[in-house]
Amino acid sequence: MTPSGQSTSGLSIIECPRSVDVIFRPGTSMFSHPGNVTFRGLIESKAHNRIATKRSDKEKVALEIIREVQRLGGRFLNWVPTIGYWTDISNQVPICVDKIVVSYRDYKKKVRNHLTATATATAANNANVNAATATATATTATTMVTTNSNSGMSGNGSTENGSHHGKGESVISASPLHTTTTTSLDCSTYAFLGQQSSSYGKNNKRKRTGAANANNARDCFLFS
């Protein structure tokens, strides 16, 4: 008889589980129990060593785990909230199998979710890396195009300034600091200027000679 007055006849009442027992209770309060840690290790080893998709395959896995726990001296205990005690269900194989199958399914689901999350994170990381690489490549290409364009403009400016030398044309040399103007003349222009210079000398000489004669005549007139 329980404190609440419920009959316990036919129930195997356990007040305190042993460390090797596997205990089933809602929630996560028993998650770190040593027997449950061993139980999860058995499930993980079975899940990695075989692929159990059918119900019959999962039941075979459950029976193997039951034998392993019992070999270690453990029991399967179930918490009964109505009486506040643990009950031994090791001899109730179908109940143990059902609980083990549920635990096996939950573990497989957890593994799938983890793999999906890892794949999503990896894809997102690769996308970010590819985007950063594309941005860096585009920036480098833009820089190279700008540099080549500036070099081409400088070369064209020098070529144009040097190619406009012509007959009687003024050439302006482009420079960021000063501007130089030069004039090129042909041979006929130099000849014309030479003739003008010679004529100017002769006329000037004649003028000076006439002026000297006039002065001499005047002097003769004054002193005669």
Dump pLDDT digits (tens) for 39-60. 999 999 888 877 766 888 888 9
Q: How far is CA 108 from CA 24, 58, 100, 112, in A?
A: 19, 12, 12, 6
- Residues 132-154: what's their mean pLDDT? 77
State residue 152's pLDDT score. Answer: 62
Q: Report the range of poorest mean pLDDT among 77-86, 119-128, 144-153.
A: 144-153
Mean pLDDT of 122-128: 86
Q: Give the pLDDT band of residue 186 (cuts 50, 70, 90).
A: low
Structural domain spans, the chain: 1-183, 185-224
Angle at 68 between CA 53 and CA 75, to 5 degrees: 110
What local confidence, expressed as pLDDT, does residue 125 receive?
85
- Please provide the average confidence, as pLDDT, over all residues in the chain: 73
Residue 134's pLDDT band (boundaries 50, 70, 90)? confident
Q: What average pLDDT does the segment 16-25 reach?
A: 94
| Residue 110's pLDDT band (cuts 50, 70, 90) | confident
- Tokens at 60, concatenated: 């075979």
Per the listing, tokens 């300034």 go with: 161
- CA-CA-CA-CA torsion for 150, 151, 156, 157, nearest 10 degrees? 70
The larger pLDDT score, comparing residue 164 to residue 105, is at 105
- Identity of the highest mean pLDDT range in 22-26, 57-61, 125-129, 186-190: 22-26
Dump pLDDT digits (tens) for 3-20: 554 555 666 788 899 999
Answer whether residue 220 shows pLDDT above 50. no
Q: What is the pLDDT of residue 136?
A: 84
Mean pLDDT of 75-104: 92
Highest averaged pLDDT of the listed ranges 101-105, 188-192, 213-217: 101-105
The bridge status of strand 22-24 relative to strand 76-80 is parallel
**Residue 157: its pLDDT value, please?**
53
- pLDDT score at 100: 92
Gap between the Cα atoms of 22 and 42, Å rounded: 12
For residue 173, what is the DSSP state? E
What pLDDT is attached to residue 151?
67
Q: In the prediction, which pLDDT does 119 show?
A: 87
